[in-house]
Amino acid sequence: MLYFVVFLLSYLIGSIPSGLIVGKLFYGIDIREHGSGNLGGTNTFRTLGKKAGAAVTIADILKGTVTIFLPMIFGLDVHPLLVGMFAVIGHSFPVFANFRGGKAVATSAGVLLGYNPILFVVLVAAFFLTLKISKYVSLSSMMAGIFGIIYSLILQDWLLVAVVAAFETFVIYRHRANLKRIRDKTEPKVTWI
């Protein structure tokens, strides 16, 4: 029963809609009605600006990081990455926001931050390197995941490889419309890097 509680708690933490809370509380705006309609950090940056975007991104990362420690807090013998996966599902399909959530990038990164901080640094470096070259946030998010898989393979942590690969697959799936826009050259580019 306690295992179920921990997995559910992870999902509920992941379900906290940071973008919706920041938008409504500080701007009187439902972020889902603007920009891409997504609850994540990128749409918040574009719609509400840098401060709101940074706050939402940090909150979404921390949602994933916190859940990594739930097994230890509850004294359960379950791999923290498996618990963290439920936070990612919660972020993407939040019960508190009619199951319309973000694209899983920040919360996935947060799970990996809690499990392996060096991997998180690799992801961030890969993200910004790709962003500098391509100017596409969506492409940078997907490329960071590929670097994450390579790093995990080097570590030979096979569960980490499987989880990072699952995150990457899910992130690509959630960005399929972005991929089409990149192909059609209609995907928005960032101008600040």
Q: For 89-118, what is each residue's pLDDT tens digit? A: 999 999 999 999 999 999 999 999 999 999
188 assigned to some structural domain: no
In this structure, are residues 63 and 16 in contact, taking their beta carbons and an 8 Å threshold?
yes
192 assigned to some structural domain: no
- CA pair distance 67, 82, nearest whole angstrom: 10
Contacts 24+ apart (CB under 8 A), 146-154: 147/122, 147/123, 148/112, 148/119, 148/122, 148/123, 151/119, 151/122, 152/119
72 assigned to some structural domain: yes
* Percent residues over pLDDT 70 in the chain: 100
191 assigned to some structural domain: no
Q: How many domains does the chain have?
A: 1
Domain that holds residue 24: 2-183
In this structure, are residues 31 and 9 in contact, taking their beta carbons and an 8 Å threshold?
no
69 assigned to some structural domain: yes
Task: Determine the pLDDT at residue 190.
Answer: 87
Model-level pTM? 0.94
14 assigned to some structural domain: yes
190 assigned to some structural domain: no
32 assigned to some structural domain: yes
In this structure, are residues 88 and 111 in contact, taking their beta carbons and an 8 Å threshold?
yes
Question: What is the pLDDT confidence band of residue 140, given thresholds at 50, 70 and 90?
Answer: very high
| Residue range 58-83: mean pLDDT, rounded | 97
* SS3 assignment for 91-160: HHCCHHHCCCCCCCHHHHHHHHHHHCHHHHHHHHHHHHHHHHHHCCHHHHHHHHHHHHHHHHHHHCCHHH
